[in-house]
Amino acid sequence: MTLKRYSEVTARKKDGWDAQTLSSVASKAQLQIREWSERCFGDNRSQTEVGVVLKEVAAVLGLTEELSEMRAAHLAQDNSEVEDGIADIMIYLTDFTTRRRIILRWDAFAFYDDIVSMVRSSVPPSVINLTDDPTSMMKSLTSAQAFDMALFFLGKISHCVLKRHQGIRGFDDAEFYMAQVTRNCNGLLFATYLLFLSHVRTRKDVTCTTFYDCVMPFLSLYAMTIEKVTKRNWDKDRATAHLEA
């Protein structure tokens, strides 16, 4: 997906979306990933280690991989790889949340105040300190801050999953685990959006100038990446499936 396409999507959809639209489109996208992932990978049984079944843990490992690759691409100023990394983070996040029946709050993108409240209650100000006003936030946001926020929430997700499988620190309680991991998955969703914002906001060929302008281009990147990756049949050919799209 090119940055020119971002601009076209923004112009076409400007002021034409709401919370319900976002939730509807995202729900369909999540269903696509769920069906594709279960068809290709099943319960993520190891192909090399006998008896090892990773289940949703494989998606957490994938999140770690993609966040690292995205940051490396940013430092190398490789815009194409940055966009691929951001999209792949969303693919793995979707895979994890659908396997755990977690709802991603795409509708919250329509309510900046709700996002700020969630972030402030979860993230230390030393990591990122979002302003009350989305316009001033856009001006002050740096890629390093967005990356730190994403890394923070990924660490929290990893903590939840690890302690759940170890059965310690209260995570043996299913309700407690679900509440904590759901909160942190949505935190990573918003952090990934900030990664996207920090990446495209300075581009002259992109009309993303406010917090809300960039929502549809972000969703478009996500949806188009899903269309690409779900064409890959890893169950049929693990050696060359990545070449299918």
131 compared with 91, residue with greater pLDDT:
91
Cβ-count burial of 210 within 10 angstroms (0-12 exposed, 13-18 middle, 19+ buried)?
A: middle
SS3 content of the chain, % helix, strand, coil (to 5): 70, 0, 30
The tens digit of pLDDT for each residue in 17-66 reads: 677 777 887 888 888 999 999 999 999 999 999 999 999 999 999 999 99
Read off the pLDDT of residues 134-186 as tens digits, 9 standing for 90 and up.
888 888 889 999 999 999 999 999 999 999 999 999 999 999 999 999 999 99
pLDDT of 4 = 42
Q: In degrees to the nearest 10, what's the CA dihedral of 19, 98, 95, 183? A: 60
**Confidence grade of residue 81 (pLDDT, cut at 50, 70, 90):** very high
**pLDDT of 104 over the 60 cut:** yes
Higher pLDDT, 233 or 239: 233
Q: Which residues are paired to 45 by β-bridges?
A: 53
The first and second tokens of residue 238, run together, are 């693990």
How high is the pLDDT of residue 225?
A: 92
| Angle at which helices 174-200 and 57-75 cross, to 10° | 20
- The structure's pTM equals 0.90
